[in-house]
Amino acid sequence: MRMETVAAGGQDEPVQMNMIQAINSALDVMMGRDPDVVVMGEDVGYFGGVFRATAGLQQKYGKNRVFDTPITECGIIGVAVGMGAYGLRPVPEIQFADYIYPALDQLVSEAARLRYRSAGEFIAPMTVRSPFGGGIFGGQTHSQSPEGIFTHVSGVKTVIPSTPYDAKGLLIAAIEDNDPTIFFEPKRIYNGPFDGHYDTPAKSWAGHADAQVPQGYYRIDLGKARIARPGAALTILCYGTMVHVVENTVAKLGIDAEIVDLRSLVPLDIDAIEASVKKTGRCLIVHEATRTSGFGAELSALVQERCFYHLEAPIERVTGFDTPYPHSLEWAYFPGPVRIREAINKIMKD
Amino acid sequence: MTDSIESGAVTDGQGRNLPPLQLHVPEPPARPGESADFTHFDIPAADAAPRPDEATHPSQMRDFAYGLVRVLDEDGHAVGAWDPKLPADTLLRMLRYMALTRAFDGRMFRAQRQGKTSFYMKSTGEEAVSIGAALALSRDDMCFPSYRQQGILIARDWSIVDMMNQIYSNKGDRMKGRQLPIMYSAREAGFFSISGNLTTQYPQAVGWAMASAAKGDTRIAATWCGEGSTAEGDFHSACTFASVYRAPVIMNVVNNQWAISSFSGFAGAEATTFAARAIGYGIAGLRVDGNDVLAVYAATRWAADRARANGGPTLIEHFTYRVEGHSTSDDPTAYRSAEESSQWPLGDPIARLKQHCINLGIWDEERHAAMDQQLAEMVRDAAREAEKNGILGHGLHHPMESMFQDVFEDMPWHLQEQQQQMLDEWKAAGL
């Protein structure tokens, strides 16, 4: 089947994809290239996943390589550790990031530590895919952004794409990586970029430059940020859904901000951050996750340590509040355009 | 009161319970200063258990979860349907491996007491659980042990100097001194890296077995946990996965009666057996005399043959007794009767196999004493060899900068920076 596709269109010819299709394509490409790649998780098999990210894969690669699992996240990750020890390259899905907590011991104490504790005798080359973030009226159990829990753990990488093109290239790199990687997918932008205004009609990825995705293999190395918008007035560090919210807010303000899409939190592209902040002298950090001990705190410390004498204003953070994600008040919680605009104005005043 | 329960009226009509609710907090039969009491154990005759066909459906195996698979009787004779009828040389190898494990434990326990390392855990009284299983499995079957199965490495002829290097965390330690003593890893011996967290290895073993099955391999997996940690969620996740995918895995529960100071009642032993956990999952369950190495061998072989024939998983409870403390860090006389180990009704696994070999005319007391002497010298020499690589806290460890290796395959900038900072700080301090 794949050969026919190649013959018909050529693998490198980009086609329009939303983020789900790009993720599906990455899985398809990697399963085709490497017989040790297996996909597992709740509802990922016959049905193809609740967000359809694994649609068609079981039909194409068989039940030994794409299969549904019992509803035990601890079991899913534990089994993936064992499969990795055998020599497979598992890509387990945790249906929502909010469900990842039962798997924490297997992720933190096992997958993340296996290479270290065995001095490389055993490794856990797994990529844990999980939709995360709010903006879909998912309530407190379908909206969380727990990336800061994982960036705090030694031995695990944390990757978050913001476009279909990046989603595919980063997922392929994560699957090829021999270390465990948490791949958080911003589900609010699965079907289209989000400008932060929940009350305007939803946009699709159609026509977006970063939704033109090659059909074949390509990879984006982990640890490389993307300059989503070059600028000179201030640096805005963000990732996932917030990249688009920030882009839209900046455009409306007409300010010449440099928007750095981190793409990978661990490993982090410190060179890109440092270069940008030294150029602009001002830094705003935006994430949807709760504020205290969030990844923004680490970013703020790093910028202060490395760029202190270049800073012309205090570093600002716009984040989710330190509350659970409230269902009816979702849009008061979400760090949207109003709060981002206020923060930019404050930074630029000094 | 019974009347009101039988009639369905458990309240007084105003929403209050009759009688008042009571919380049951388990208490072991004997505490320090009290007489050991094992009269509540129902130990069937050694030849009582029939041996089912390996293809028997789990629903037909209910009785095996409550009985006790035994081979050696009280006089050291091999009896009944489970007798594996092993050749003399295999019996003597088993005896030697168990004795070597005990000699190794004795030496390393003393090394900890002498301050040569931080920690040790003996397997005294439980040697049969590891040795019997290791000999029943193929050398390339993958083991996911807990922390008291050092006998598997010994029965797979792994270097005891290598094991000691790990215990001393010295420069010869292949794990680079990163793990607590006894947390071995030996890929070549089919021995998975031991975690200090309990029962995490259970779903991992199931995953390994699923991978082997998915690849059409011939190797199976085996895993071990204690009765106490069957309470962990991982145990139940693993049983569910093993049952659902009929994974070729043997799940061993070493019921040595004690989890540090908590007796098996805190894992549910007052209500049922640990082998009976298998019933709810539709898994074959066997309850085995864990101090009878022939019974352990026979049960493991049964489970291995079943797994290799795509018959799925088996849960084996090894009924045994932890003769020593949990580790070098606890004093068992502070929480249990000192008489227990001497009165354990299923005896000592080494003494029982020794008697059996004497009964067969292939062994005698003189040869046994000579073997013990030779093994003691062997572990002494091995310890001296290992100590040339250093003991814990005496400088002969891996270099400081090795701390930053193997966190990831390639060292990212933040670890390189921290590594350099550490070296610079030590240099600046003149160290």
**DSSP secondary structure string, B155-208?**
HTT--HHHHHHHHHT-TT-TTTT-S-TT---BGGGTBPPPPSSTTTHHHHHHHH
Option in B176, B241, B413 nearest A70 (CB): B241
Tell me what pLDDT residue B10 has: 67
DSSP reduced 3-state for A197: coil
Q: How close does chain A come to B422, measured CA to CA in Å?
A: 17
Residue B39: what pLDDT? 86
Q: Where do the CATH 3.40.50.920 domains begin and end in chain A?
A: 223-349
Q: Give residue limits of the domains in chain B.
A: 58-387, 399-431
Q: What's the N-to-C CA distance of chain B in angstroms?
A: 76
Chain B residues inside the 8 Å CB shell of A38: 211, 214
Residue A169, classed as helix, strand or coil, is helix
Asked whether A293 and A148 are in contact (CB, 8 A), the reply is yes
Q: Is A142 a catalytic residue?
A: yes
pTM of the model: 0.96
Which one of the listed residues A142, A197, A244, A327 is annotated catalytic?
Answer: A142
**Cβ contact B240–A110 (<8 Å):** no
Residue pairs spanning A and B at CB distance below 8 A: 142
The CA-based angle B241-B242-B246, given to 5 degrees, is 115
Q: How far apart are CA A67 and CA A45, in angstroms?
A: 5
> Contact, A276 vs A258, CB < 8 A?
yes
Residue B195 touches partner A, C-beta closer than 8 Å: yes
Beta-carbon contacts of residue A294 (< 8 Å; ≥ 6 apart):
A148, A287, A317, A319, A320
CATH assignment of A223-349, among 3.40.50.300, 3.40.50.920, 3.30.2010.20, 1.10.569.10: 3.40.50.920
* Residue A4: pLDDT band with limits 50, 70, 90: very low
Q: Which pLDDT score is estimated for B396?
A: 82
Residue A1 has pLDDT above 70, yes or no: no
Q: Is B254 on the interface with A (CB under 8 A)?
A: no
Q: Which among B200, B210, B236 has the least Cβ separation from residue A110?
A: B200
Confidence grade of residue A9 (pLDDT, cut at 50, 70, 90) = very low
pLDDT, position B4: 45
The pLDDT value recorded for residue B282 is: 98
pLDDT at A260 over 70: yes
Structure tokens given for A182: 């948490």
Q: How far is CA A330 from the centre of its chain?
A: 21
**Alpha-carbon distance B113 to A278, whole Å?**
57
Domain topology for A2-189: Rossmann fold (3.40.50)
Is A74 in Cβ contact with B412 (below 8 Å)?
A: no
Nearest by Cα to A129 from A161, A154, A81, A153: A161
Position A6 scores a pLDDT of 40
User: What is the distance between the alpha carbons of residues A27 and A185, in angstroms, rounded to a whole number?
Assistant: 14
CB contact under 8 A, A80 and B207: yes
Q: What does the pLDDT read at residue B95?
A: 98
Query: Does residue A15 sit in helix, strand or coil?
Result: strand
The pLDDT, as a whole number, for residue B431 is 82
pLDDT score of A10 more than 70: no
- Given CATH 3.40.50.970, say whether it is the number of domain B58-387: yes
Its sign, for the CA torsion A237, A243, A248, A249, is negative
Cβ of residue B257 closer than 8 Å to a chain A Cβ: no
Strand partners, B125: none
The pLDDT, as a whole number, for residue B253 is 98
CB nearest A155 (choices: B142, B200, B407): B407
The enclosing H or E element of A286 equals: strand A283-290
CA atoms within 13 A on the CB side of A338: 6
Cα B2 to Cα B419: distance, rounded to the nearest angstrom: 70
Q: Which of B207, B240, B414 sits opposite A81 (nearest CB)?
A: B207
Residue B430 class from Cβ within 10 Å (0-12 exposed, 13-18 middle, 19+ buried)?
A: exposed
Task: Provide the residue-wise pLDDT of chain B in tens; the chain has 431 residues.
Answer: 344 444 555 667 777 778 899 999 999 999 999 999 898 888 999 999 999 999 999 999 999 999 999 999 999 999 999 999 999 999 999 999 999 999 999 999 999 999 999 999 999 999 999 999 999 999 999 999 999 999 999 999 999 999 999 999 999 999 999 999 999 999 999 999 999 999 999 999 999 999 999 999 999 999 999 999 999 999 999 999 999 999 999 999 999 999 999 999 999 999 999 999 999 999 999 999 999 999 999 999 999 999 999 999 999 999 999 999 999 999 999 999 999 989 999 999 999 999 999 999 999 999 999 999 999 999 999 999 999 999 998 888 899 999 999 999 999 999 999 999 999 999 999 98
The answer, yes or no, to whether residue A78 has pLDDT greater than 80, is yes
Q: Is residue A2 over pLDDT 70?
A: no
Q: In what order do the strands lie in the sheet with B221-226?
A: B142-144, B221-226, B249-255, B314-319, B284-289
Question: Dihedral of CA B107/B108/B109/B112: which sign?
Answer: positive
Residue ranges, comma separated, of all CATH 3.40.50.970 domains in chain A are: 2-189
Distances (CA, A) of A8 to A2, A22, A23: 10, 19, 22
- The 10 Å CB-count burial string (b at 16+, else e) for B146-164 is bbbbbbbbbbbebebbbbb
- How far apart CA B19 and CA B2 sit, in angstroms, is 10
Could you tell me if B400 and B429 are in contact, meaning their C-beta atoms sit under 8 angstroms apart?
no
What pLDDT sits at residue B16?
Answer: 75
